[in-house]
Amino acid sequence: MNTREHMIHMAKVVMLNAYSPYSNFQVGACLRTSNDEYFIGCNIENVSYGLTLCAEASAIANLISAGNRRIVEIAVACSSSTFCSPCGACRQRLSEFASPDTLVHMANVDGEHQTVLLGDLLPQPFSQQHLGEN
């Protein structure tokens, strides 16, 4: 199994742990670091919808909690037949710890996948450069 397949598999496995009683839409994410460590997360809904935690955000929290700061590859799997790309907020979150060249693998419930670059999903992220020299 190559890295992409392994990451998609991990994202699909953690997707089954999603807490999604309101939308019934499960999402799993797997992040890989440059030293081949993997961090997973799933979506966690809340009755107050704005408090819902996306799978990518959950995986980023695990990555940071373990002391890592760089993402070199991303996989997102969902319980739909369409591909689920990271939402706008998660694209921004991912851009904080990844580069525009970072591969984003998106997998659907039918076993299909598509790969894009993070920079194509978010071509002009808000960055530290926007804060000026502090």
Choose, from 37, 56, 73, 112, the residue flagged as catalytic. 56
Joined together, the tokens standing for residue 120 give 């194509």
Q: Which amino acid is at 50?
A: G
Closest CA to 27 of 16, 35, 36, 38: 16
Does 112 qualify as catalytic in the annotation? no
Write out the DSSP string of 16-71: TT-B-TTT---EEEEEE-TT--EEEEE-B--SSGGG-B-HHHHHHHHHHHTT----
So which residues are the catalytic ones?
A: 56
